[in-house]
């Protein structure tokens, strides 16, 4: 589904990614971990098409297409979704209108019929149950006045409505209490399937107790330096990153 080869990227003339290689197949969940400043969120932004990030080398193929050649809206239409680490507020635009507009914009681009107001409300009520949100949120401006947990649940609500093929979750667990973490994680797990894939970026192993990854990757200095299964996340929780940093430094000297 997704194949990243030797991906280099920079922002404001500072190169952050120094050769990312990653293959994600349908049905897989990949967790990306690493210390602050290692390139985790940069990878997410590059995959979503953020204009501030410049790819300087490498390629990204998504379902046979050159992902880097697509605009952000074309990537969304193709089924790529990014849940933000810091969801933005949109004053004056209520959530129901925002979600219906987004869904119908994608359906038009795909040549599908738009969803009318009645059918959309029925769909939205069903998805609200998934993230345990009250209908009153639908009349409120997008994320305005929302708590941190409500913003993250609203991100997963968007994901549920838009039904992406490839979901990229950029530190969705950041700032969540235990209940909000459970709700968000359950929503992500419920939306996963054999024809879909997820990249979950996180600092903490606790998220991976709820969203069980097939693979865990560690990014250091803009490169994936170690990969494993969920046990790697447990080892990181116990030991931190210093041991991997030392191994990575030794490998670099040897090379």
Which CATH number belongs to the domain containing residue 234 in this structure? Answer: 3.40.50.300
SS3 138: helix
The long-range contacts involving 122-131, CB below 8 angstroms and separated by at least 24 positions, are 123/161, 124/96, 124/99, 124/100, 124/161, 127/157, 127/160, 127/161, 128/157, 130/156, 130/157, 130/160, 130/186, 130/187, 130/190, 130/191, 131/156, 131/157, 131/160, 131/183, 131/184, 131/187
Contact 22, 30 (CB under 8 A): yes
- What is the number of domains present in the chain? 1
More confident of the two residues 166 and 210 = 166
Average pLDDT over residues 221-247: 87
Predicted confidence (pLDDT) per residue in 40-54, tens digit? 989 999 999 999 999
Average pLDDT over residues 80-84: 89
Q: What is the chain's length? A: 255
Measured distance CA(13)–CA(150) in Å, rounded: 35
Contact 148, 175 (CB under 8 A): yes
Could you tell me the pTM of the whole model?
0.89
Q: Is the pLDDT of residue 251 over 60?
A: no
Nearest to 8 by CA among 50, 48, 42, 37: 42
Give the neighbor-by-neighbor strand order of the sheet with 65-66.
Answer: 14-24, 2-11, 53-62, 65-66
Predicted confidence (pLDDT) per residue in 114-129, tens digit? 999 999 999 999 999 8
> What letter would DSSP give residue 114?
P
- Residue 255 has a pLDDT of 46
Token pair, residue 228, equals 């494993």
In the chain, the N- to C-terminal Cα span, in Å, equals 31
Residue 147 belongs to domain spanning? 2-254
Nearest to 46 by CA among 157, 199, 150: 199
- Please state, rounded to an integer, the average pLDDT across all residues of the chain: 88
Q: Is the pLDDT of residue 196 over 90?
A: yes
Token pair, residue 200, equals 């979950």
């Amino acid at each position: 589904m997704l194949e990243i080869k030797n991906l280099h990227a920079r922002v404001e003339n500072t190169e952050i990614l120094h050769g990312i290689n990653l293959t994600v197949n349908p049905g897989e969940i990949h967790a990306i971990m690493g210390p602050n400043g290692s390139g985790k969120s940069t990878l997410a932004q590059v995959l979503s098409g953020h204009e501030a990030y410049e790819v300087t080398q490498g390629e990204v193929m998504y379902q046979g297409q050159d992902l880097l050649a697509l605009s952000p809206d074309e990537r969304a239409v193709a089924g790529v979704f990014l849940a933000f680490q810091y969801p933005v507020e949109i004053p004056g635009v209520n959530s129901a209108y925002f979600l219906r507009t987004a869904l119908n914009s994608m359906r038009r681009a795909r040549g599908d019929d738009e969803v009318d107001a009645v059918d959309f409300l029925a769909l939205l009520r069903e998805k609200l149950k998934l993230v345990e949100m009250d209908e009153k949120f639908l009349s409120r401006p997008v994320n305005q006045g929302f708590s941190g947990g409500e913003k993250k649940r609203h991100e997963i609500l968007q994901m549920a409505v838009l039904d992406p093929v490839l979901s990229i979750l950029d530190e969705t667990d950041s700032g969540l209490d235990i209940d909000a973490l459970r709700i968000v994680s359950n929503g992500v797990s419920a939306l996963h399937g054999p024809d879909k894939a997820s990249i979950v970026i996180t600092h903490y192993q606790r998220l991976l107790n709820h969203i069980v990854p097939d693979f865990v990757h560690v990014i250091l200095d803009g490169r994936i330096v170690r990969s494993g299964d969920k046990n790697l996340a447990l080892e990181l929780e116990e030991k931190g990153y210093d041991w991997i940093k030392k191994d990575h430094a030794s490998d670099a000297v040897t090379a």
